[in-house]
Amino acid sequence: MKRKIGLVVGVALVLVWCLLPVAWILALSFKSQAAVSNGSDPGFLPLDSFAGWSNYADVWADEQFRRAILNSIGISLISTLLSVIIATLAAYAIARLEFRGKKAVLSVALAIAMFPVVSLVSPLFDLWRTIGLYDTWPGLILPYMSFTLPLAIWTLTAFFREIPWEMEQAAQVDGATSWQAFRKVIVPLAAPGVFTAAILTFFFAWNDFVFGITLTSTEAARPIPAALSFFVGPDPFQRPASLLAAAAVIATIPIVLIVLVFQRKIVAGLTSGAVKG
Amino acid sequence: MSAIKLKNIVKRYGDGFPAVNDVSIDIADGEFVILVGPSGCGKSTLLRMIVGLEDITDGELSIGEKVVNDLPPRERNLAMVFQNYALYPHLSVYENIAFPLRLAKAPDDEVDTKVREASATLELDEHLERKPGNLSGGQRQRVAMGRAIVREADAFLFDEPLSNLDAKLRGQMRTEIARLQKKLGITTVYVTHDQTEAMTLGDRVAVLKKGVLQQLATPRELYENPGNLFVAGFIGSPPMNFLPAEVEGTQLKLPFGTVEIGEEKAAKGRDKGLLIAGIRPEHFEDASLSDKASDGSTFSAPVDFVEWLGHETYAYVPFEAPAEVKERLAELEKDLDGEGLRTQLVVSLDGATTIKQGEDAKLWVDASKIHLFDPSSGENLTVDAEHAGEIHGRAMAEAAALPD
């Protein structure tokens, strides 16, 4: 009984710790702009200053904001897709094939993942401007991929290693080419790994601020976190705090959706029943 | 359906170690051949070379009339059941069985007919929509077999398919496999380390040791005419007894007394010094229960332990062996994956016997069934070559010369 109470209290504490900022932003997004500026409603809940959906409507009416959301969704999805495809193939090769420099590939990948992002920004800025990638989608997709690939490769390699060799051999005896065996047996079995890698990659791309703000200059490619920092309300001398809060909430929605969708796919023990064990 | 011909097949790994050494086996169309031997004897490697999952270092493998050495597994048209079943966990039982057909791009109605036919044969009908993860071991085993029988493969290959099942189920599945093979009449190669499976299933059995083929014969020939000590010790349960022996005249001197073996047999072992006599447990009998007990082949021996099983009784008789024989037997025991604990005679007597442990028992031995082995080469000196299948001369010595 005592332990149960402890557990409940502990869980509650963690929940408050994690969700308080979210709740704060949500509350803020429903307060009226004026009340936030002159501090007339300092409470947590928007009581006197309840603004309804007006902040959301205002933000959504902003052409730049819609454009930034589109950029973010497009760039994140494309880098996730490419990253997962390349990582799947690479991880399969690392897990299954014997080749020289296998260890080197893995350690270099890890080293890249540990490389500080900031140190790459200025060289990339110069390079991208020279070759014309500055302020374009590919200009962001490329650095996102190079930072998420190592993690994806490591995750997937671990998953592929867990899949028994026999699965593939059975498929080959059943008449499959190596490619068919990979596509019809190995990839479905590695699905939890593939989706884990996809979520990690998507998060990285969606949340990135440093690349987003330095490698873009216009709404042609500027993603949402960078766009938020440039966000100005109708009055340039007043920080539009409640508008920003509403924008932040909207920017969170795709992440929540993605997690909900992918989470179902990350079912542990999908390989159970393949072999006796 | 096709015959499979293995001609001087060799498998050598990177370090030069031969896992399979110069094995030749002709498997006739529709024949059930067992590859048997203790762990590490190369039987699985041989099977995997037939199916194409392992490269063939040297020699020639043909299926039907076609040499298939360099063909990938999918072009050999063989079906294989793996030791751990290797079912596809993301597919239902139906799709697991249908998998080879789907790969062959068979039309849906044909797939359906064949899958249902296979599932009816294997009594899997009520499980078709389930996932392999929810099935019992025996059911998974049947699904793996369904996947094999659904396509008209040239041959079935089984890699220790029953070793993951419990004893009762293993017996049932063994009969099931034998019945299925007879029904389909399909060439089958079956790998096992279990000599009971080997004896009951096979038309012919190939006994392997360290990658060297020791003897290829019917179960009965193997049992009655083992080509060497290794085969003799491997086939049969409880195993054949090995006793130090010497031939004097027409008499065989055993630790418990002398036995008359007749001129023909004695001539083969005369003047060869110390020999090893091999006698199966059931070739002994309680002298008081036997009406043949008068022909000079009875002796008295101290029984130190008795196991009564109802229909028969095992009696254990310890004996001392000369160092030379003892060493040879310990070595043999190691080859057979066992442990040479003590030199003892196991005799299988009628269940009606009243012999008790701690007593001296009068035992009769069927002298006509005694085999004599050369202790150094391990070869059976008294083998009836006409009824012993193919014995590969010096196979045991060859295997012994290989590194462990």
Query: Between B299 and B221, whose confidence is greater?
Result: B221
Rounded percentage of chain A residues whose pLDDT exceeds 90:
28
Q: Which pLDDT does position A275 carry in this prediction?
A: 53
pLDDT at A125 over 80: yes
Average pLDDT over residues B82-106: 91
Query: Between B272 and A236, whose confidence is greater?
Result: B272
Average pLDDT over residues A86-104: 89
pLDDT (tens digit per residue) in B180-212:
899 889 999 999 988 889 999 999 999 999 889
Q: Which of A175, A184, A272 sits opposite B133 (nearest CB)?
A: A272
Q: Are B151 and A272 a contacting pair at CB < 8 A?
A: no
pLDDT (tens digit per residue) in B365-398:
888 889 999 888 888 988 888 888 888 767 777 7
Q: Which pLDDT does position A270 carry in this prediction?
A: 46
Q: Which of B53, B80, B89 sits opposite A189 (nearest CB)?
A: B89
User: By the 8 A CB rule, do A270 and A191 touch?
Assistant: yes
Residue in B closest to A185 by C-alpha:
B88
B131 touches chain A (CB under 8 A): yes
Q: Report chain A residues whose CB lies below 8 A from the CB of B85.
A: 274-276
Q: Which pLDDT does position A77 carry in this prediction?
A: 93
Burial class of residue B153 (count of CB atoms within 10 Å of its CB; 0-12, 13-18, 19+): buried
Question: Domain coordinates of chain B in residue numbers?
Answer: 4-222, 237-382
B55 touches chain A (CB under 8 A): no
CATH pick for B4-222 out of 3.30.420.40, 3.40.50.300, 3.30.2320.50, 3.40.50.2300:
3.40.50.300
Q: What ipTM was reported for this prediction?
A: 0.81
What's at A225, amino acid-wise?
P
User: By the 8 A CB rule, do B232 and B277 touch?
Assistant: no
Q: Are B137 and A276 a contacting pair at CB < 8 A?
A: yes
User: How many other β-carbons are positioned within 10 Å of the β-carbon of residue A228?
Assistant: 18
Phi-psi region of B385 (alpha: psi -120 to 50; beta: other; left: phi over 0): alpha
- Compute the mean pLDDT over every residue in chain A, rounded to the nearest whole number: 85
Q: Which of B52, B53, B131 sits opposite A273 (nearest CB)?
A: B131
Q: Are B89 and A274 a contacting pair at CB < 8 A?
A: yes
Q: CB pairs below 8 Å between A and B: how many? A: 88
Q: Which residues of chain B from 302 to 331 reach within 8 Å of chain A, CB to CB?
A: none
Predicted confidence band of residue A269 (pLDDT cuts 50, 70, 90): very low
Looking at the complex, report in whole angstroms how far the Cα of residue B192 sits from the nearest Cα belonging to chain A: 17
Please list, residue by residue across A116-141, b when 16 or more beta carbons sit within 10 angstroms of its beta carbon and e when fewer do. Answer: eeeebbeebeeebeeeebbbbbebbb
Q: Which pLDDT does position B73 carry in this prediction?
A: 92
pLDDT (tens digit per residue) in B44-66:
999 999 999 999 999 999 998 89
> Out of A75-79, A228-232, B41-45, which region has the weakest mean confidence (pLDDT)?
A228-232
- Compute the mean pLDDT over every residue in chain B, rounded to the nearest whole number: 88
Cross-strand bridge partners of residue B23: B9
pLDDT at A119 over 80: yes
Rounded percentage of chain B residues whose pLDDT exceeds 70:
97
pLDDT (tens digit per residue) in A174-194:
999 989 999 999 888 888 888
Q: Are A175 and B103 a contacting pair at CB < 8 A?
A: yes
Predicted confidence band of residue A34 (pLDDT cuts 50, 70, 90): confident
User: How many other β-carbons are positioned within 10 Å of the β-carbon of residue B39?
Assistant: 8
B132 touches chain A (CB under 8 A): yes
CATH architecture of B237-382: Beta Barrel (2.40)
Q: How far is CA A259 from CA A77, A200, A252, A254, in A?
A: 13, 10, 11, 9
pLDDT at A277 over 70: no
Predicted confidence band of residue A271 (pLDDT cuts 50, 70, 90): very low
User: By the 8 A CB rule, do B242 and B277 touch?
Assistant: yes
Instruction: Identify the CA nearest to B189 among candidates B395, B60, B25.
Output: B25
Q: Are A276 and B133 a contacting pair at CB < 8 A?
A: no
Q: Are B86 and A175 a contacting pair at CB < 8 A?
A: no
B94, B97, B100, B105: CA torsion to nearest 10 = -30
How many CA within 13 A on the CB side of residue A187? 14
Average pLDDT over residues A114-138: 90
Q: What is the CA radius of gyration of chain A?
A: 23
Query: Between A276 and A203, whose confidence is greater?
Result: A203
Say if pTM beats, i.e. exceeds, 0.90: no
Average pLDDT over residues B347-368: 87
| A contact test, residue of B13, B44, B49, B53 with most A CBs within 10 A | B53
Q: Report chain A residues whose CB lies below 8 A from the CB of B72.
A: 172
Average pLDDT over residues A224-237: 78
Instruction: Identify the CA nearest to B229 among candidates B277, B182, B179.
Output: B277
Q: Report chain B residues whose CB lies below 8 A from the CB of A175.
A: 74, 100, 103-104, 151
Residue that has been written with the tokens 């990659």 in this structure: A201
Rounded percentage of chain A residues whose pLDDT exceeds 70:
94
Q: Are A273 and B137 a contacting pair at CB < 8 A?
A: no
Looking at the complex, report in whole angstroms how far the Cα of residue B234 sits from the nearest Cα belonging to chain A: 28
Q: For chain A, which domains are there?
A: 18-52 (no CATH), 60-265 (1.10.3720.10)
pLDDT (tens digit per residue) in B306-353:
999 988 899 999 888 888 888 888 888 888 877 666 788 899 988 888
Joined together, the tokens standing for residue B183 give: 């029904």
Predicted confidence band of residue B292 (pLDDT cuts 50, 70, 90): low
pLDDT at B179 over 70: yes
Average pLDDT over residues B116-136: 90
Average pLDDT over residues A231-251: 80
Residue in B closest to A276 by C-alpha:
B84
| A contact test, residue of B45, B103, B149 with most A CBs within 10 A | B103
Q: How far is CA A78 from CA A82, A84, B78, in A?
A: 6, 10, 43
Q: Which pLDDT does position B27 carry in this prediction?
A: 94
Q: Are B74 and A172 a contacting pair at CB < 8 A?
A: yes
Joined together, the tokens standing for residue B233 give: 């010790």
